[in-house]
Chain A
Amino acid sequence: MNDTSSTEHQASSTERSWTIACIDGSRFNSAVCDYAFWLSQRLNSPFKALHAIEHSGAVAVTDLTGAIGLGAQEHLLAELTDLEQQRNRLEIQKGRQMLDTVKQRAELAGLPNPVTVQRHGTLIESLVELETAARVVVLGIRGEAHEADNLHLGAHLEALVRSIARPIFVVNREFSAPTAAMLAYDGSPGSIKALEMVGSSPLFEHIPIHLVHVTKDPVAAEGLVQAAKLKLEQANRQVFSEILTGEPAEALCQYQARHGTDLTVMGAFSHNRLRELVFGSFTMKMMLNSQQPLLLLR
């Protein structure tokens, strides 16, 4: 256990510093970059673009003969190695090109020393490795593989949000610099964290905050919302607050459309798994229905 102190010491200088943009070939790619540039500049946090080379499970087979002959095992190993080498070499090249483009764009946008990394393994694995150094992770709502699918979320998104403990910025449309943010507040630990972040982060210094609470009992919620509003006002934020009734995800999306907020800040997956299994996860509903990017906090 002796070495934890040294790694901790090492990490403290880089911990929570990077804005990490997850790059793949999907159509949200450029928007992911632009939002990441925006975050990086506002937060004064260095920019890092990550491309994960996901080894596809798809297996190319031409041989269903089921016959094994002399040296079957060695031949098969050599064959599979060759195949994967070709495939992954191509993937590396493709990713390199994407990252180079991102780097050029970042330099054009005036970001100092943008960094690019390429790692083998799933996006989740790669992000978990970089997690301690991350301040915020920016990614598109759908990856390359499921681009056309508008009714479902990216296969790994839920797992990813659940396994990364850093703020996650989910991009679901073309870039426009946020002008008003909606804070979905329900008093849960996740949303309290979101409230604190909005109060302290330089991101929201010049953006009006819409503090929205959805409940069945508007009278009882008055105190909760007022206390939260006061907290934000003390932090010099411009705050509007509103209490809505109805199905939370629906009410929030309607509010968003009515008031033109173009960024949603919320705690993610703070209810227990059982409740989410029965009622469906609020976070997933918001990601599916919201037309504006989301900043998720755990």
Chain B
Amino acid sequence: MLLTQKKADWFGNIRGDFLAGLVVALALIPEAIAFSVIAGVDPKVGLYASFCIAVVISIVGGRPGMISAATGAMALLMVTLVKEHGLQYLLAATLMTGVLQLIAGYLRLGELMRFVSRSVVTGFVNALAILIFLAQLPELTDVTWVVYAMTAGGLGIIYLFPLINKTLPSPLICILVLTALAMVLGMDIRTVGDMGDLPDTLPIFLWPDVPLNLETLFIILPYAAPLAVVGLLESLMTATIVDDLTDTTSDKNRECKGQGIANIASGLVGGMAGCAMIGQSVINIKSGGRGRLSSFLAGLVLLIMVVFLSDWVAQIPMAALVAVMIMVSIGTFNWASIRDLKQYPLSTNLVMLVTVVVVVWTHNLAYGVFAGVLLAALFFANKISHFMYVDSQYDESLDQRSYHVHGQLFFNSADKFSNAFDYKEAVSRVAIDVSRAHFWDITAVAALDKVVLKFRREGTEVEVIGINEASETIIDRFGQHDKPEDIDKVLGGH
């Protein structure tokens, strides 16, 4: 059974995977070069990384059909490290990132993705698209009109060529046409060759040339940790998108471990850290890729092309790459989220927008997701706190006021609960019936204690009814009683 599944993952869709692999390889080359430029390293670092990650993840990853390589989100986190400490420390940080991701995979941290709501995912995706676009701006500032014309022409080819022919990758046509034009006219514009070294050999094993001591660890850890987090976040979100597109499921924890192994491998052949790519994965699925073969081929073809065609690759004008990257940025952006802004509640939109703003501000996707998740949790707590009210009746014969508490009592609704009682009313007895309320934390219990004390200070006799039923939900293990009858016993009948 397992073997059959494995075989199907690899060879279940040979034709589709083969073609898609080629298309993706062609699209990966400009991305890998562009992201190397962002990180401030030679293009070969990104190209080796893309080859290595795409090939390794095809074998060890948990989501067939997803494309991983050097990415912009990761590149943005490395900029300072490269600037201050150099390439060798980046390679060491890449290794460390892989190790951290591997550990996260074994600790099954992938399941924490449950806490990341839909709005945060949308915000993440949009922020990513904006970051990719912003990263192109340095290539478009202080340049001649020729570069603008080339970029615009490139975008024109990318989007208009498919109207004529749907069997050739239009980004490739864009690159070929612009390169030929630049070479024939002998234009004086920046080319890939100006950005640094291209791969001239097949990748070789190399251990990062850094001293193995605590000092090194303290240098790389502040970079490796966010790299690991962002890499896993983007990979798991992309996996969910591929799951949706292909109507299949994936093994998220295997994907975490796979990302770790791929990054370790990348670090050992002189590549930078990477992760899954939303744009490339969409291109892969769109081109018919479904299995592991497409990612494997994409990596392999990419390497063969850049190693053997490096002289030609060096001639590609940066304007062509910028056009391709703008396409990736546009394709990554979730336009439905802008269209739906009016329909969605304000809280949902705020979560999405805060995620975007924080990411664009800090250039760190991890902070954005953290802010988004926090905000979403606060909004949720606030919504739930509305599900609490207190009503009361006065019984003249006993001179007793009975309060009935309904709903959810926790840190956010505790004040509302305390304020719902009339302490100024002079009665001899007060009964507080909480059997229809749920106490979710100690704050709720403390609030009740405070209410009781306050009444007693006024000289009132207080009786609390049903505290046992109400506090069953405090127990941390409550979440584990997920059988319907247990939940009904505690939460039902209200």
Contacts and interface: CB of A to CB of B under 8 A. Distances in A.
Interface of A: 2-3, 55, 57-74, 76-77, 80-81, 84, 124, 155-156, 159, 162-163
A277 to B, nearest CB: 11
Contacts of B3: 159
A62 to B, nearest CB: 6
B282 A67 contact: no
B335 A70 contact: yes
B286 A72 contact: yes
B168 A67 contact: no
B169 A66 contact: yes
A130 to B, nearest CB: 16
Given A76-B285, A159-B4, A65 B241 contact: no
Given A66-B169, A67-B171, A61 B16 contact: yes
Contacts of A77: 244-245
Interface in B1-28: 1, 3-4, 8, 12-13, 16, 19-20, 23-24, 26-27
Contacts of A61: 16, 19-20, 286-288
A59 B168 contact: no
Contacts of B166: 62-65
B316 to A, nearest CB: 16
Contact of B327 (A59, A64, A67, A156): A67
Contacts of B483: 2-3
Given A77-B244, A77-B245, A159-B4, A66 B279 contact: no
Interface in B153-179: 158-159, 161-162, 165-172
Contact of A67 (B13, B159, B241, B246): B159
B246 to A, nearest CB: 8
Given A57-B12, A74-B336, A68 B282 contact: yes
Contacts of A65: 161-162, 165-166, 168-170
A84 B283 CA distance: 19
A58 B246 CA distance: 12
B330 interface: yes
Contacts of A63: 162, 166, 286-287
A76 to B, nearest CB: 5
A116 B26 CA distance: 50
A69 B1 contact: no
A155 B4 CA distance: 9
Given A59-B13, A64-B19, 15 more contacts: A57-B12, A57-B13, A57-B291, A59-B290, A63-B287, A64-B287, A65-B161, A66-B283, A67-B158, A68-B286, A69-B331, A70-B333, A71-B336, A155-B4, A159-B4
B1 A66 contact: no
A72 B331 contact: yes
Contacts of A64: 19-20, 23, 166-169, 287-288
A66 B24 contact: yes
B335 A66 contact: no
A57 B285 CA distance: 13
19 contacts: A57-B12, A57-B290, A61-B19, A61-B287, A63-B162, A63-B287, A64-B19, A65-B161, A65-B165, A65-B170, A66-B23, A68-B282, A68-B330, A69-B331, A74-B334, A74-B335, A76-B282, A77-B244, A77-B245
A102 B218 CA distance: 71
B247 interface: yes
Nearest to A76: B286
B4 A68 contact: no
Nearest to B285: A76
Interface SS of chain B: helix, strand, loop or mixed?
helix
A84 B332 CA distance: 24
Contacts of A67: 158-159, 161-162, 169-171, 327, 331
B63 to A, nearest CB: 15
Contacts of B27: 66
A76 B166 CA distance: 15
Nearest to A80: B245
B328 interface: yes
A3 B483 CA distance: 10
Contacts of A163: 1
Given A57-B12, A59-B16, A74-B335, A66 B172 contact: yes
Contacts of A156: 4
A68 B241 CA distance: 15
A71 B335 contact: yes
A124 to B, nearest CB: 7
B168 A70 contact: no
A8 B10 CA distance: 39
A163 to B, nearest CB: 5
Nearest to B486: A2
A80 B241 CA distance: 13
Given A63-B162, A63-B286, A64-B166, A69 B327 contact: yes
A99 to B, nearest CB: 24
Contacts of A71: 334-336
A158 to B, nearest CB: 8
Which of A67, A71, A80, A81 has the largest number of chain B CB atoms within 10 A? A67
A70 B159 CA distance: 10
Nearest to B158: A67
B214 to A, nearest CB: 44
Contacts of A57: 8, 12-13, 290-291
Nearest to A62: B166
Contacts of B170: 65-67
Contacts of A80: 245-247, 285
B13 A68 contact: no
A1 B434 CA distance: 32
Contacts of A60: 288
Contacts of B285: 76, 80
Contacts of B171: 66-67
Contacts of B168: 64-65
Contacts of B12: 57
A70 to B, nearest CB: 5
Which of A71, A124, A156, A159 has the largest number of chain B CB atoms within 10 A? A71
B204 to A, nearest CB: 30
Contacts of A68: 279, 282-283, 286, 327-328, 330-332
A66 B245 contact: no
Q: 10 closest Cβ contacts across the A-B interface?
A: A68-B331, A61-B288, A66-B169, A65-B162, A72-B331, A66-B23, A71-B335, A57-B12, A59-B16, A59-B288
